[in-house]
Amino acid sequence: MRSRKIILFIFLSTFFIYTTYGQGYKNPVIPGFHPDPSICKVGDDFYLVNSSFEFFPGVPIFHSKDLINWEQIGHCLTRPSQVNLEKIGASGGIYAPTIRYNNGTFYMITTNVSGKGNFIVHTKNPAGEWSEPIWLEQKGIDPSLYFEGNTCYLTSNPDNCIYLSEINPITGKQLSPSKAIWTGTGGRYPEGPHIYKKDGLYYLLISEGGTEYGHKVTIARSKNIDGPYESNPANPILTHINKDAQMNPIQGTGHADLTQANDGSWWMVCLAFRPQSGLHHVLGRETYLAPVKWDKNAWPVVNGNGIIHLNMKVPTLPLQPLKKPTYSTNFNEDTLGFEWNYLRNPTLKNYLLNSKKGYLRLKATPILLDAVDSPTFLGRRQEHIEFTTTTKMDLFNAKNGDEAGLTVYRNNTAHYKLSLKQNSTGKRVLVLSYRLGELSHNISKINIPKGSVYLQVKGENDFYSFAYSTNGKEFEFIDKLDVRYLSSETNGGFTGVYLGLFATSINKTTNAYADFNTFNYIPEN
């Protein structure tokens, strides 16, 4: 009888362990253009924010219980009064944010590089509205906060060095002079500073090498928060610049933040990118996760050797899977999902969501996709290398020069578009075109009968393939365009590709509008 109880106890213990703790996960944990992750923990909840640059609303915020399954719960910057993006250039606007929690309040600090610099917003509810910005004196990008009791410290990186000062996080008043505390290990662009305290020592985590193939994460420590800081002899603690990772499908690892789970385990979130079609990354920099071993009085070690993988075969926290994400919409909800973004500060009267009839109406304006402005545009991030996107739409009240359709959009000087137009003879034509730097060209023009048309783009490793249909069943292939021309290596900048809907005109006054009835995004991998 006793032996049976022992066997039953062992079985139940084993069952409990293997049903509560997971074994392995897939990177990236937040795919697509979600760079510069910062994380904080409150109870058993994790919150994470990313950069947003010229897109609005700004600073997406995610929630997770297990660090692997993330759900977007909103944005930190939802009002033009919080974030002025008027006519800013591509990859301007909102740079790397940091999220922290202290005494019942969440704080998000970031930089509007096209505005007045560093600022803080705060809230009691991270899924709700955040405060108006509080502007700070200390310059540099990538600001971060560290709380110790009632004292708040600010770090940022003016002059290629990490600076520290004490501030009031509610008023923004600087309470001590800015002091240089570490220049890193010699890599260019020492940035992304975060301070942690462990075993009586202050640890300063930064990124170096630029957010490219030479990116890396380094760390230093000190008995005093203002230094002097001693560099880890084993730096960098995360990088894919070395020989062992040269064939890794993940590159550019860097810009990290650390968090400790309730079970005592340490974890790192970082950015990286997935090259495709040679050494070109198109999706932008994404959010990745790595386990960290951080023994008492020791330096942190990331995933054993400072290298991460797409398939991470490591123990995890108890997994709490979310409902399978919905990538598609029939526009029959009262509000658009958090995945949708505008370009810069939008003119909201040009957008109408009719959930009862199931359409999104975009009013054409004389602001083109080529403009450093806010065209009538709504897009969502490309999150997968292989995907199919299809939208059903129609164009109304159109004259020569009015157009609407589907765009694969990197920025105002790099995008492909499949547009429904009405030409000078009154015929409706479907036009596939590109804008690449100073080059622009119409590739094909196809006569289209009256009524709705289905526009489609398929993403693959090397090409975007475009097609159309008048019945939603049989699609006619039009042409394919190279993904490399929309990559960071070709265009520079810090963003990723969006799949967008738009309506524009070359006419100063126009009454044209487009109704979009469906938007389907289907990952292939």
Return the percentage of the chain with pLDDT > 70, whole number. 96
* Last residue of one domain, picked from the residues 283, 316, 349: 316
Residue 200 has pLDDT above 70, yes or no: yes
Residue 126 phi/psi, 5° resolution?
Answer: -65, -20
pLDDT at 23: 81
Residues 403 and 336 in one domain: yes
- Give the DSSP letter string of 435-466: EETTEEEEEEEEE--SS-EEEEEEE-SSEEEE
Query: What integer is the mean pLDDT of 181-193?
Result: 97
Does any domain span residue 15? no
pLDDT band at 491 (very low <50, low <70, confident <90, very high): very high
Give the integer Cα–Cα distance in Å for 417 and 123.
39
Residues 286 and 434 in one domain: no
Residues 278 and 185 in one domain: yes
Give the integer Cα–Cα distance in Å for 523 and 525.
6
Does any domain span residue 16? no
Residue 11 has pLDDT above 60, yes or no: no
Does any domain span residue 506? yes
Does any domain span residue 8? no
* Last residue of one domain, picked from the residues 316, 340, 368: 316
pLDDT at 13: 40
Tens-place pLDDT, residues 127-174: 999 999 999 999 999 999 999 999 999 999 999 999 999 999 999 999
Residues 145 and 287 in one domain: yes
Residues 361 and 245 in one domain: no
Does any domain span residue 446? yes
pLDDT at 423: 86
pLDDT at 327: 87
Number of domains composing the chain: 2
Tens-place pLDDT, residues 345-376: 999 999 999 999 999 999 999 999 999 999 99
Residues whose CB is less than 8 angstroms from the CB of residue 496 and which lie 6 or more positions away in sequence, other chains included: 32, 33, 282, 283, 284, 285, 381, 382, 410
Residues 194 and 218 in one domain: yes
Residues 304 and 344 in one domain: no
Given a contact cutoff of 8 angstroms between Cβ atoms, the answer to whether 514 and 362 are in contact is yes
Task: Write out the two tokens for 374.
Answer: 């806010």
Residue 311 has pLDDT above 90, yes or no: yes
Residues 255 and 286 in one domain: yes
pLDDT at 6: 39
pLDDT at 479: 98
Return the percentage of the chain with pLDDT > 90, whole number. 93
Tens-place pLDDT, residues 96-124: 999 999 999 999 999 999 999 999 999 99
- Rounded to whole angstroms, what are the CA distances from 445 to 38, 421, 451, 468, 478? 46, 10, 17, 12, 9
Does any domain span residue 55? yes
For the domain that residue 424 is a member of, what is the CATH number?
2.60.120.200
Does any domain span residue 321? no
Residues 339 and 299 in one domain: no
Task: Write out the two tokens for 222.
Answer: 């000190």
Residues whose CB is less than 8 angstroms from the CB of residue 504 and which lie 6 or more positions away in sequence, other chains included: 364, 365, 366, 367, 368, 369, 375, 376, 402, 403, 404
Residues 339 and 279 in one domain: no
Residues 91 and 190 in one domain: yes
Largest CA distance in the chain: 92
Question: Which residues are 396's β-sheet partners?
Answer: 513
Mean pLDDT rounded to a whole number for the chain: 95
Residues 299 and 334 in one domain: no
Give the 3-state DSSP-derived string for 86-135, with helices as H, strands as E and coil as C: CCCCCCCCEEEEEEEEECCEEEEEEEECCCCEEEEEEECCCCCCCCCCEE
pLDDT band at 10 (very low <50, low <70, confident <90, very high): very low
Give the integer Cα–Cα distance in Å for 352 and 332.
12
**Rounded (5°) CA angle 519-521-525:** 175
Pairing label, strands 359-363, 71-77: unpaired
Does any domain span residue 177? yes
For the domain that residue 257 is a member of, what is the CATH number?
2.115.10.20
Range list of H helices, 125-223 = none
pLDDT band at 228 (very low <50, low <70, confident <90, very high): very high
pLDDT band at 7 (very low <50, low <70, confident <90, very high): very low
Tens-place pLDDT, residues 62-100: 999 999 999 999 999 999 999 999 999 999 999 999 999
* Last residue of one domain, picked from the residues 259, 290, 316: 316
- Domain region containing 381: 328-523
Tens-place pLDDT, residues 366-421: 999 999 999 999 999 999 999 999 999 999 999 999 999 999 999 999 999 999 99
Active site residues: 36, 191
Residue 474 phi/psi, 5° resolution?
Answer: -95, 120
